[in-house]
Amino acid sequence: MSKVLVMGSIAYDYIMRFSDVFANHILPDRLHILNVCFTAQSLSKNFGGTAGNIAYSLKLLQEEPLVCASVGKDFAEYKTWMDKLGIDSGEVEIYQDEWTASAHIITDKNENQITAFHGGAMFRSDVPLSRVLSRHPEIEYAIVSPDGRDRMLKNAKELQARNLRYIYDPGHSLPSFNKEELLFLTKGAFLLVLNDYEIHLFLEKAQLTQAELLKMLTYLIVTHGGKGSTIYQQNKETYIKAVQPHKVVDPTGAGDAYRGGLLKALLHRLPLEIGAQLGAVVACYTVEELGTQGYRFSLNDFKQRFRETYGDHPCLGQIFKEV
């Protein structure tokens, strides 16, 4: 069975809710001496990190992701969770002198977010990726998602050396890279995924126009949150509408869930448009629950929500097995 190598962070997410709007408590003319405190009305500890979230989405979509990440001495609780789900953690490297990465996220009532992140073991990159790839010849695709900057560069270099196709998903790691590094990471990717803020930051840092960027890639996807996503090729642009959630509880992790749908389609040789639609359905479930790995769905419900937004498609009966 073909597998996806999921590279990125494994982290504990501490998610808080603020009942007001951040902007009501920030003085624009005092940003140079900013000193604010937002009192959260709720707090939850969740399993997260880009690699963990993407792998979770893929597992729910009946795939077998292989996670490659670095964690710390407090990984045991997360490992128990992965084992329960049946997600392969055999290539997760544990550093006993570090803490597993952690994110502290506070969301206001307009779904704006402020995040403080501690990388810990995520910044370690001692294990060569070539060793992992040699042990797993079944790997067909990889995704380079936000992780320690040196680790992302190192992994991209080894993927390029092996001509293994990968998705580049810079996310919140974007500010860490200079122009040359962004171009290097993009050079080996066949697909780049960014949100509608990140695309502007990427083009500015890489000193490229979007047309110039598209010449380096097979595909560019720009996501627009609840407004859907757009797939770009050099001479083609395809808009994918969003699936409307029944309720909005927490938007954290919706992008990672979406990427799981993209990878599901690639593994089954389906058009990327179908992958974006599958991803949009998974993302919809994410925002309806607290935490990035708190959602579930039955196969029948998933298919029904796909059909409600995009109509029926033969792939729904081909890429899922009844359980």
Share of the chain above pLDDT 90, in %: 80
Residue identified by tokens 């792939």 is 315
Per-residue pLDDT of 280-312, as tens digits, reads: 999 999 999 988 999 999 999 999 999 999 999
Using the predicted structure, report yes or no on whether residue 323 has a pLDDT greater than 70.
no
Per-residue pLDDT of 61-86, as tens digits, reads: 999 999 999 999 999 999 999 999 99
Mean pLDDT, rounded, of the chain: 93
Ordered alpha helix ranges (H), the chain? 50-60, 76-85, 129-135, 149-161, 179-187, 198-206, 210-214, 254-267, 272-287, 299-310
Per-residue pLDDT of 111-144, as tens digits, reads: 788 988 899 999 987 778 888 998 999 999 999 9
According to the model, what pLDDT value does residue 290 have? 82
Using the predicted structure, report yes or no on whether residue 315 has a pLDDT greater than 80.
yes
Using the predicted structure, report yes or no on whether residue 60 has a pLDDT greater than 90.
yes
Using the predicted structure, report yes or no on whether residue 94 has a pLDDT greater than 70.
yes
Describe the crossing of helices 198-206 and 179-187 by its angle, rounded to 10 degrees: 110
Using the predicted structure, report yes or no on whether residue 1 has a pLDDT greater than 80.
no
30: confidence class by pLDDT, cuts 50, 70, 90: confident
Distance separating alpha carbons of residues 272 and 231, to the nearest angstrom: 8
Distance separating alpha carbons of residues 45 and 13, to the nearest angstrom: 6
Q: Are 67 and 88 in contact (CB under 8 A)?
A: yes
**Sign for the pseudo-dihedral over CA of 164, 236, 243, 321:** negative
- Domains of the chain are 3-317 (3.40.1190.20)
According to the model, what pLDDT value does residue 113 have? 85
Question: Three-state SS string across 85-120, please?
Answer: HCCEEEEEEECCCCCCEEEEEEECCCCCEEEEEECH
According to the model, what pLDDT value does residue 78 have? 98
